[in-house]
Amino acid sequence: MHQASMEESKQIVYHKVLERQLRKLFGKQAVLPAELADLLRVVSDTYKQYDEDHALLEHTMDVSAKELSETNQSLISQKVELQVAYEQLKTTQEQLAVSEKLVVISQELERAYKQLEFQTEALKVAYINQNAAKMRAKRIQDAMLPKRQKVISKFKEGFIFFQPLDFVSGDFYWFSEVNNLQILIVADCTGHGVPGAFMTVMATAMLEEIVNSQEITSPKAILEALDLKITKALLKKGEDQNTHDGMDAAIVAINNINKTLVFAGAKNPLYIARNGVLSEIKGSVHPIGGGSFATGKSFENHCITYQTGDTFYITSDGYQSQFSEKGEKFMRKRLRQLLTDINQLPLDDQRRKVKFTFADWKGDYRQTDDILLVGFRL
């Protein structure tokens, strides 16, 4: 009811507005024809309908704008969600690719590890076999060398400081008694380890033949015979004549009846300590073997009448060639000084001094060569 009265009021207002407009045209006192009154009603109704349609249109536009805004916001939200989902998918794909690569790498590492295990096991077996072979070689070489105590017992006092670089040594000592003479030899073969040990086996066999079978007892003659045999053995016909394989040696022949000592050296010297004073007799400049048949190669005998209490030393060059942690060589000068300092001590004490001095000089530096130093007192 209230709505109807409002509509009537609106219509009345429209009529009055139109009537005022018409009276402006025809005058305030004019009587409006019935046709105009009907036209007035039609226009009034049309205007009313227009007003309603306009209001409806505005309402519709407001609603559409709101719906459009909401739809737009929804689309924006969906876009954001899709972007997030895309990024997650991309990350997942990258992780999957990395994972696949890791699987491949893991498989390759597993194969490499198994191969390494196999090689390690093979190396262990080879190492065990090699050590076993070296130990057998060491036992063979030790069996060929005269017993140290047996050699030392032939003198008033003595010591043998023997310290191979490897299991087996290229340095060796040899002793024999022939025709009332004591023959003592210290030799340093080319190389060390297995190659040097092969040379010691060959040289030992040759010395057995030269000294014990042929009864050659002159140190000079022993060196000459040994040089000839080794040179022939190492230089086969038609092969390289410039091989450097051979050895250095010091040989003494002691006659305890007439108190003489005869020395000859192939590069290696003899040290003599008498009343605390150390002297040196140098060997020949020529090695045994070590090249072709040299026409100018020679060795010389040095005969010494010894006194009771004299001490003698023969050695390879390993001791004096040892490097310290500072990179310095021990050198022959220091060896001479060491022997000067200790030569009046008991020979057992001298051996300890020689051993500890070497260890102290070497420190943590690796040993560089085989070591052999023999001292004896007459």
**Tell me: the pLDDT tens digits for 1-54?**
555 666 666 666 656 666 666 666 666 665 556 566 666 666 666 666 666 666
Is residue 198's pLDDT more than 50? yes
Q: Per the domain annotation, does 18 fall within a domain?
A: yes
CA distance 230 to 247: 9
Q: Per the domain annotation, does 43 fall within a domain?
A: yes
The domain tally of the chain equals: 2
Q: For residue 236, what pLDDT is reported?
A: 60
**Tell me: the pLDDT tens digits for 87-99?**
877 787 777 777 7
CATH number at 264 reads 3.60.40.10
Predicted TM-score (pTM) above 0.85: no
How many other CB atoms are there within 10 angstroms of residue 212's CB atom? Answer: 13
The model's confidence at residue 183, banded by pLDDT at 50, 70 and 90, is very high
DSSP 71-136: HHHHHHHHHHHHHHHHHHHHHHHHHHHHHHHHHHHHHHHHHHHHHHHHHHHHHHHHHHHHHHHHHH
Is residue 354's pLDDT more than 50? yes
Average pLDDT of the segment spanning 201-209: 93
Give, in order, the Cα–Cα distances in Å from 275 to each of 41, 155, 340: 162, 18, 10
Q: Which letter does DSSP use for residue 84 in this model?
A: H
Q: For residue 233, what pLDDT is reported?
A: 83
- 252 with 367, same domain: the answer is yes
**Which residues 6+ apart lie within 8 Å of 294 measured at CB?**
286
DSSP bridge pairs for 273: 278, 311
Q: Which residues span the domain enclosing 333?
A: 147-377
Q: For residue 238, what pLDDT is reported?
A: 42
Give me the percent of the chain exceeding a pLDDT of 90. 48
Q: For residue 224, what pLDDT is reported?
A: 94
The answer to which of 152-166, 224-238, 303-317 has the lowest mean pLDDT is 224-238
